[in-house]
Each structure stands twice: as C-alpha cells, then as structure tokens.
C-alpha cells in the first residue's frame, strides 16, 4: 500500500485482506493521501483505514448463498423464470433459456412482452396477469414458443412479480415410457 501511495499520491477505496499484529486476518478499506517533502519523499499519511471484516464476510456469504441457489435452479431440467412486476426477467435458469433458444443473460432485464410478442393474447398472458394482479396460482398446459413442445406451466405470485415453472410434457412422457 505504501509503494502504491508513493507512486500515485493518494489511494481511494483500497481494499485488501491483512493480518493484524496478533495474527488475526482482517479485511481493510483505506482512503489515504500522501504528504510529500520538496524532494518527493513521503513524510506523512492522512486519511483513514478501517476494519471492514464483518461486512466483507457477510458479502462473501451472500455471494456463496446466491451461487448455491443458482446452481440448484440450474440443475432443474424444467424451465424456471422469475419476472418482476413490470414483466422484466430477473432470473432465467439454463433449461428455460434453452426453451427460448437464448442464453440466460440475454433475457435478464428484458421485458417479456417485448422479447416475445407472440405470447400476447395467449393463455400465458392471461395466467401471468392473473397471478401477478390477483396473487392467484395458475396451472395450465400450453405450447411453447417453438411449437414443437407442450408445457405444463405453473405460475406463482411473488411479492414483486411472478415465478414460472415450464415442464416439457413430451420429455416427461418419454421418460415415463422408459420406466
């Protein structure tokens, strides 16, 4: 940090894991400015360095939990999406993205009705709106956008939107025949 301070003159938002004198590992955040002599020698440091360990550990745990939930949802062979109140995708698992012929990141933040206008006026729209507006769970069967699949669809209300499970009926009928 001192080497960087000497070369840059100031450090804003510097973060790193350090060891205290007692050996305890802590996460620090520093905002410091170097005071230099006429010959460019660092003579004083002004600013602050604080122990940010608890916040950093909480952030890391939250990220681990988020990744674990995403891994679980992506392990489903059924499609799963979550839409906010304004019909924007907030989550798309890998199976749902494959149904749409896209990558999950291509859908996040996009409006459902703008992305898939062919769904307007269908059973999907009626059920999605009823679930969002009336907080009423909906179950129905409908063709996929690609028309070569038939889905069992379950729509659940969320505090700020809906979640949707898409189950490929043909895929599950094929697996039942094998058993």
Q: What is the tens place of the pLDDT at every residue in 61-70? A: 999 998 998 8
Helices and strands, counts by H and E, the chain: 7, 8
Q: Given CA atoms 86, 91, 95, 100 in this order, what sign does their dihedral have?
A: positive
Nearest to 98 by CA among 142, 153, 154, 144: 144
- Note the pLDDT of residue 73: 84
The pLDDT confidence band at residue 3, using thresholds 50, 70 and 90, is: confident
- Note the pLDDT of residue 25: 95
- Contact partners, residue 127, CB within 8 Å, separation at least 6: 138, 140, 153, 155
Domain ranges across the chain: 2-57, 76-178
- Note the pLDDT of residue 28: 93
Q: What is the mean pLDDT of the segment spanning 39-52?
A: 91
User: What's the pLDDT tens digit per position in 95-134?
Assistant: 999 888 899 999 999 999 999 999 999 999 999 999 999 9
Q: What tokens does 158 get?
A: 């969320």
In this structure, which topology does domain 76-178 adopt according to CATH? Beta-Lactamase (3.30.450)
Class of domain 2-57: mainly beta
Same fold, 2-57 and 76-178: no
The answer on pLDDT for 16 being more than 70 is: yes
- Note the pLDDT of residue 36: 93
Cα 177 off chain centre by: 37
pTM exceeds 0.85: no
46, 61, 64, 164 from 53: Cα distances, Å:
22, 12, 16, 38
Query: Within 13 Å of residue 144, how many CA atoms lie on the same side as its CB?
Result: 23
More confident residue, 41 or 76: 41
User: What's the pLDDT tens digit per position in 137-173?
Assistant: 999 999 887 667 889 999 999 999 999 999 988 765 5
Mean pLDDT of the chain: 90
Q: What is the mean pLDDT of the segment spanning 76-102?
A: 93
Q: Given CA atoms 114, 117, 120, 124 in this order, what sign does their dihedral have?
A: negative
> Over pLDDT 90: what percentage of the chain?
72
């Amino acid at each position: 940090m001192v080497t960087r301070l000497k070369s840059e003159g100031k450090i804003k938002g510097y973060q790193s894991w350090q060891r205290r004198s007692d050996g305890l590992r802590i996460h620090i955040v520093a905002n410091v400015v170097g005071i230099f002599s006429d010959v460019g020698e660092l003579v004083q440091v002004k600013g602050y360095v604080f122990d940010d360990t608890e916040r950093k550990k909480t952030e890391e745990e939250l990220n681990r939990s988020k990744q674990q939930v995403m891994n679980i949802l992506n392990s489903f062979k059924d499609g799963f999406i979550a839409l906010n109140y304004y019909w924007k995708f907030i989550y798309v698992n890998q199976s749902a993205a494959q149904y749409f012929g896209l990558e999950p990141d291509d859908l996040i933040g996009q409006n459902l009705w703008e992305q898939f206008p062919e769904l307007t006026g269908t059973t999907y729209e009626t059920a999605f709106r009823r679930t969002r507006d009336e907080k009423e769970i909906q179950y129905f069967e409908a063709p996929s956008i690609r028309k070569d699949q038939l889905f069992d669809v379950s729509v659940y209300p969320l505090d700020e939107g809906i979640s949707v499970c898409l189950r490929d009926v043909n895929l599950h009928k094929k697996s039942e025949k094998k058993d």
